[in-house]
Amino acid sequence: MTTKKNEIGKAFIEIDNAKYELPLYKPNVGPNVVDISKLYAQANVFTYDPGFTSTANCSSTITYIDGENGILLYRGYKIEDLVENADFLEVSYLLLNGELPNIKEKNDFVNAITYHSMLHEQMTRFYAGFRRDAHPMAITCGVIGALSAFYHDSTDINDPQQRMIASRRLIAKMPTIAAMAYKYSLGQPFVYPKNDLGYASNFMHMCFSFPTEDYKINKILADALDKVFILHADHEQNASTSTVRLAGSSGANPFACIAAGVASLWGPAHGGANEAALNMLEEIGTADNITKYIKKAKDSNDPFRLMGFGHRVYKSYDPRAKIMQKTCHEVLDALSLRDDPLLKVAMELEKIALEDPYFIEKKLYPNVDFYSGIILRALGFPKDMFTVLFALARTVGWISQWKEMIEDSEQRIGRPRQLYMGNVDKKFINLEDR
């Protein structure tokens, strides 16, 4: 299926006195898009856009960000409405299928996810191959990639039924994989999923229960984690999502593509920022050190950046950060941790940065990762699990984007071009003469 494009005119480009016409599309919302796909064939030139700052790599109907006004939509619904009124699996259904489910559709979906949550027992032995002090992101990435070795019956990307089963398996098994990575890193026995628990509660149960002792689910905390999952579920064509699409464009199976997405997410400029932000807050330690760190962040000769600050698309407050801040207060209240010293540092740091001309001028605001670390830490997760939780929640976004790409009749293998600046006329010199 191809989404019909709304051509509203032409853009023109002049190269060496020759003029070329390029189709100009109007999206449902957002800036118009110039179609340069035929430019090379017509004019024998490439376009140059490191970091894809001006390039749309696909057409999509899943997520939209209005960075100037701090708006995030999933399938047309405002993130604030979804967090307030829906749970993570309802939002997952929406992202995957395009519409919110009715009661029957939701029950069927929740059932399917619940009954796919166990891992093939042989997979549990796969974990033993990792060093016991391995980072849980490394384990998660490896185990997700290994799913393709265990679930052959859902790797045919041309079969819609198999695509659907693979999508559900990934959403269902991700919490189990992540919880097992956590348990393994602690040297504790794996805890199996429980079918009478909700998605977030089940994850907490698998992380924090022991065979000897159940973890008591606190509804306020489980609901907060569910919100954190919704806030991370999808975010347009970011680095990891583009990685999933690029990997998938070659026809690779969905499990391999999601493993690629996890790898891309790990970097501190992307999903690794939640771990880095908490490390930073701990390093700052007390409010009187903030000025020193703000100074470092502004110094172009210092690589230090305020982690959890700034975004490629948001040039105003990230709407996810606003909800995250509110959720953070709810969680700390529920745990009687109102006076958490890191929250104090975070709030003071945010206040000082938002009044500083450097941050104002560059339009740098807190992003989703600024407060999420404080929430996750209060829920009991160690720092090295933060990015794993991001990956868990983003899996539905990745798989929805992958599915959309496979079903798009315009889909071709992703193959960027380059501006080659290397040598061209080197004469070979024999080894003994070099």
| Contact set with ligand CMC (CB under 6 A) | 235, 238, 269-271, 273, 297, 300, 305-312, 362, 364, 367-369
* Residues listed for the chain: 434
At 32, give phi and psi (nearest 5°). -65, 160
Catalytic-labelled residue, pool 369, 408, 425, 433:
369
369 is known as an active-site residue: yes
Q: Which is nearer to ligand CMC, 26 or 270 (CB)?
A: 270
**Among 398, 328, 421, 325, residue whose Cα is nearest residue 367:** 325
Cβ 258 vs Cβ 399: under 8 Å: yes
Cβ 165 vs Cβ 115: under 8 Å: no
**Among 106, 258, 93, residue whose Cα is nearest residue 174:** 258
Q: Which residues partner with 354 through β-bridges?
A: none
The least CB distance from residue 310 to ligand CMC, in Å, is: 2
Q: Which is nearer to ligand CMC, 53 or 212 (CB)?
A: 53
Q: Which is nearer to ligand CMC, 176 or 242 (CB)?
A: 242
Q: Which is nearer to ligand CMC, 50 or 187 (CB)?
A: 50
Distances (CA, A) of 379 to 99, 157, 323, 332: 31, 38, 17, 9
Report the run of H or E that residue 245 belongs to, with start and end: helix 239-249
311 is known as an active-site residue: yes
The least CB distance from residue 203 to ligand CMC, in Å, is: 21
At 268, give phi and psi (nearest 5°). -65, -20
Token pair, residue 264, equals 């891309």
Q: What is the DSSP letter of 109?
A: H
**Position of minimal CB gap to ligand CMC:** 310
Catalytic-labelled residue, pool 87, 205, 311, 318:
311
Measured torsion, CA atoms of residues 404, 410, 416, 419, in degrees rounded to the nearest 10: -140
Cβ 136 vs Cβ 144: under 8 Å: no
The least CB distance from residue 432 to ligand CMC, in Å, is: 47
Q: Which is nearer to ligand CMC, 2 or 54 (CB)?
A: 54
Catalytic machinery residues: 311, 369
